[in-house]
Amino acid sequence: MSSLELVEHLLGVGRPQDALRELERLGPDEAGTIVALYLRGYAHLNTGQADAAVHDAQAGLQAAPDDIALLYLLSVAQAERGDLAAAEAAILSALGHAADDADLLAQYARILMRAGELEKAGRVLATARASAPGSQDVLRCHIDLAYLRGDTAEAEGLTHLLLAEDAESARGHQMLGAIALERGDLPAAEQRLGEAVRLEPVHDEVADTARAARILQRPYYWPVRFFNRFGAAPTWVAAICLIVGLRAAGLELAAGLFGTTWLIVCAWSWAAGSRLEHQLR
């Protein structure tokens, strides 16, 4: 077995650090091949070294300027670095060689979404879906796009489609958890986010959200739930309007009682929020 096959396997099983160690052992001839550079770039990308990944991809492209896999890698790495213009240039070069490639179109759509060009991303994704109707990558992009547009119903429907194809998609469960959280359905959010953590426990922020969803179900946290559900600013505006309205209607006592209750609820929510933060830590 050649070392490159081992490297490929290590990358496939989520061990990019080990893959990099294997790549370091390659002789100079093998290390300079396009495959080795691609694998090194991929390993760098998966260890959070986007700059190094860009370097690897560019080195490979010097020898093979039209290599679609390297152009794709370069685009992903540039996007990871935050250079969306360079990422777009790389993916457009790749699309120049394979205009209907669904993976390339999905990557282009991701870049457009990050740049806030949702309409254009939608058009690109429509082309991608026509080209590869069964692509899970394209479906995931569609879900993200629907969520970014604020169309949670569509995002939810598409996520159920994704989970029907791949019941153990951590991202799918995470999306449903986020939607449930927005609706204030804490038990569903806890269940979905917990499943996402079980499948991919490395994401601390998802685990913290799942923990928060669990803790917030306790009775003590009802004021926090209340504010989370309706948002702090609208709730405050509604409360002040009600107090002013009651006073205007001559119901001074009711306005006073409501105002006092409101202050207690606010103090309670503040204490509960602090306690929640403490518990999450």
- Among the listed ranges 40-48, 50-58, 206-214, 256-264, the one in contact with another protein (CB under 8 A) is 206-214
- Among the listed ranges 4-12, 62-70, 105-113, 181-189, the one in contact with another protein (CB under 8 A) is 4-12
- Using CB under 8 A as the binding rule, whether residue 207 contacts another protein is answered as yes
Q: Which residues contact 13 (CB under 8 A, 6 or more apart)?
A: none
Determine the Cα–Cα distance for residues 225 and 185; give it in Å rounded to an integer: 10
Q: Which is nearer to another protein, 34 or 115 (CB)?
A: 34
CB of 211 to another protein, least distance (A): 7
Q: Which one of 3, 46, 131, 217 is in contact with another protein (CB under 8 A)?
A: 3
- Using CB under 8 A as the binding rule, whether residue 9 contacts another protein is answered as yes
- Using CB under 8 A as the binding rule, whether residue 14 contacts another protein is answered as yes
Q: What is the dihedral of CA 167, 170, 173, 174, to 10 degrees?
A: -170
DSSP state of 2: -
Phi, psi of 135 (to 5 degrees): -70, 125
Q: Which one of 12, 28, 134, 219 is in contact with another protein (CB under 8 A)?
A: 12
Binding mask 165-204 for another protein (x = CB under 8 A): ---x-------------------------xx-xxx-xxxx
The tokens describing 85, both together, are 């213009």
The tokens describing 65, both together, are 């300027």
Dihedral sign for Cα 127, 133, 139, 145, please: positive
Q: Which is nearer to another protein, 219 or 281 (CB)?
A: 281
How many residues of this chain bind another protein (CB under 8 A)?
29
Determine the Cα–Cα distance for residues 101 and 117; give it in Å rounded to an integer: 20
Number of helices followed by number of strands (H, E) in the chain? 17, 0
Determine the Cα–Cα distance for residues 102 and 127; give it in Å rounded to an integer: 8
Which DSSP string do the residues of 225-278 spell out, in sequence order? HHHHHH-HHHHHHHHHHHHHHHHHTT-HHHHHHHHHHHHHHHHHHHHHHHHHHH
- Using CB under 8 A as the binding rule, whether residue 4 contacts another protein is answered as yes
- Using CB under 8 A as the binding rule, whether residue 13 contacts another protein is answered as yes
CB of 26 to another protein, least distance (A): 9
From residue 165, alpha-carbon distances to 9, 19, 158 in Å are 25, 30, 11
- Using CB under 8 A as the binding rule, whether residue 218 contacts another protein is answered as no
- Footprint (CB under 8 A) of another protein, residues 25-64: 27, 30
Q: Which is nearer to another protein, 204 or 250 (CB)?
A: 204
Helix, strand or coil, per DSSP, at residue 240: helix
- Using CB under 8 A as the binding rule, whether residue 1 contacts another protein is answered as yes
Task: Give residues in contact with another protein (CB under 8 A).
Answer: 1-6, 9-10, 12-15, 18, 27, 30, 168, 194-195, 197-199, 201-204, 207, 210-211, 281
